[in-house]
A and B are shown apart, each in its own frame.
Chain A
């Protein structure tokens, strides 16, 4: 199949693994930023194929995971209003807030609907003029264009009963937060391919320059990931810190100009809380003043909610790459996908959940570490 089987080719994979082994002389710690990359590394059993010198650590790039409990609580609060239809992507539904998840709120009678696109939520608003439709707009730069487009569509149709609860987060500020931590062990990044498909790669040059780290924009298939790792190690071994693009079949340097334009129209940069990490300045998007009638926070006069995380949870250190899921005393015991105590156990793309799902008691996925 085009774009599928080619990037899962056994011969290519074997060759790339050999190439990586051949150039690796020192120990390196590489962070893959995106949860989709973590998922693919673990699901395809790639971690155990890598040489022992290479440690992959898993970044904060799982949008479901980093959505703070307080925002989930806001969504649940909204869903309980009798006039509200709360729409959300599927994997956000199961994530527990401080008391319950949206799925549980649904079973208690809240009108919570799973949609596959924010434009479906706009359609729901059109079809239900006597109800308030709120779309839970979660995600990195990848989901922002469609969410922004839904606001523009609603505005065009003069819909007064549609709004979004935005919880958008941005990748580059999170990478900087990780690198500026004096205890960081990260030597290089595989940047998130699909985020770059939207935003382009220009944002990464100053980061590579300032922190002297190689950044390789990388895809999600086994061949992509191994090639990305190869390109990264090659730079590390000779002391380079360049931005390179492994995922050139999808990512252009300037990104997707149309998508960026829609984002610029609807959103403005704001500070954002990251579950497990804390507040990172200028690391998110909020609905801009121009479209504030579509901002659910303003429309329903939501006040910030303070929520405490489990103190024993190592989510922050795991997402910054300082610890592995198996290092956490809660992992697989008090914390599992049914009862996640922290962000990375929440979605299948979170690093703890990926380890939990695809590993055994002998820590098989982490044999190389």
Chain B
């Protein structure tokens, strides 16, 4: 299955000639094998002045407020339409830092690899990391590699952390959200979740839907450059989707939220797949989507900025005085319903 999506990355980084074709426990031992894996692979691919120091940690200079975020990636399968676990891990931490109103500057990267992972697949993941890190302009400056016995992991787990200075004009805080604020979204929802499901074992279905994994720091910077403190809140609705994030905001901030379903952008194929699988796209995961809650007087400006990069950006709702703590969705046919958090993972229905 993975082979369909492998080698999608056209970088001139052929697999180094190594005398091993799978990852073994020895590669995480800290000894000679680890050294060879890092020297001929990881360091060379991801090289930058700070990483090249090969210290125990990275020495960095910051002044003022800093945002720092960490996340682990355990996705299965590790290759999927539109990306792989490596790109996801880089973009994910970049986006988490961005949502704090900061500009991600450095990343850490840690692998937990299951013994037996083909070197070729590890290489592909590494190239995904290189591509994402270069495209975003955020270098990886420190890292770690561990190997666990076969059966104790699921091919490869990745942890990344991101750090960066807070934008001078940013002031992101749930307490700053006010009644009348507008809620905007940059891109169509549920793409990532559907692309993963389309290649999951036992469920393979034909689709051209690809993951929306992408870094969001540049567009976020533009928003702060132009609208500064009028951006009250940002959040990327990854796991749990838009519904969960909106529910969290309503509950935490004791705010009423009204969403208009027909304003929420969704690709026709994604919508069809969700219908087929019995999933509500509002709860399906995204990777390149973010929600901004902004002062009403800048809403149109924010929309214009978003539209420069994302043609389906949209104002999807607003913050209301009514029903504090609750999200109400106005359905496409004019009905109204409450949007709650899911008690667990969304599971496909029987019929």
Contacts and interface: CB of A to CB of B under 8 A. Distances in A.
Interface of A: 1, 4, 8-10, 13-14, 36, 42-46, 48-49, 63-64, 89-94, 114-117, 120, 138-140, 142-143, 194, 222, 336-338, 347-349, 356-360, 364-365
B340 A140 contact: no
Sort A-B residue pairs by CB-CB distance and give the 6 closest, nearest first.
A45-B335, A90-B347, A337-B343, A13-B333, A90-B348, A142-B351
Given A13-B334, A45-B331, A358-B339, 10 more contacts: A10-B333, A13-B333, A44-B337, A45-B330, A89-B350, A90-B350, A92-B350, A94-B344, A357-B340, A365-B337
Given A1-B268, A14-B334, A45-B335, A358 B351 contact: no
Contacts of B202: 114-117, 120
A347 B278 CA distance: 13
B244 to A, nearest CB: 13
B262 to A, nearest CB: 9
Contacts of A117: 202
B57 interface: no
Given A116-B203, A336-B343, A44 B348 contact: no
Contacts of B335: 44-46, 48-49, 222
B351 A143 contact: yes
| Secondary structure dominating the interface of A | mixed
Contacts of A44: 331, 333, 335, 337
B17 interface: no
Interface in B262-280: 268, 271-272, 275, 280
A228 B268 CA distance: 27
B297 interface: no
Nearest to A2: B272
B250 to A, nearest CB: 11
Contacts of A92: 350
Contact of B337 (A4, A63, A93, A358): A358
Contacts of A142: 351
Contacts of A93: 347
24 contacts: A1-B271, A8-B332, A10-B332, A13-B334, A42-B337, A44-B335, A44-B337, A45-B331, A45-B336, A63-B351, A64-B350, A91-B349, A94-B344, A114-B202, A138-B350, A194-B351, A222-B333, A336-B343, A347-B350, A348-B349, A357-B338, A358-B339, A359-B337, A360-B323
Nearest to A337: B343
Nearest to B197: A116
Interface range on chain B: under 10, 10 to 19, 20 to 34, or 35 or more?
20 to 34
B326 interface: yes
Contacts of A64: 350
B272 A364 contact: no
B271 A364 contact: no
A357 B350 CA distance: 18
B338 A116 contact: no
A8 B275 CA distance: 13
A347 B349 contact: yes
A254 to B, nearest CB: 21
A30 B177 CA distance: 43
Interface string B177-191: 000000000000000
B333 A8 contact: yes
A241 B293 CA distance: 53
A138 B350 CA distance: 8
B263 to A, nearest CB: 14
A143 B338 CA distance: 30
Contact of A364 (B332, B336, B349, B351): B336
B334 A48 contact: no
Contacts of B333: 8-10, 13, 44-46, 222
Contacts of B328: 360
A318 B227 CA distance: 53
Contacts of B323: 360
A96 to B, nearest CB: 12
Most buried by A among B326, B331, B344: B331
Nearest to A339: B343
Most buried by B among A1, A43, A44, A194: A44
Contacts of B348: 89-91, 114, 116
Nearest to A34: B351
Nearest to B200: A116
B334 A10 contact: yes
Contacts of B334: 10, 13-14, 45, 49
Most buried by A among B328, B337, B343, B348: B337
Contacts of A94: 344, 347
Nearest to A356: B340
Given A142-B351, A348-B349, A48 B336 contact: yes
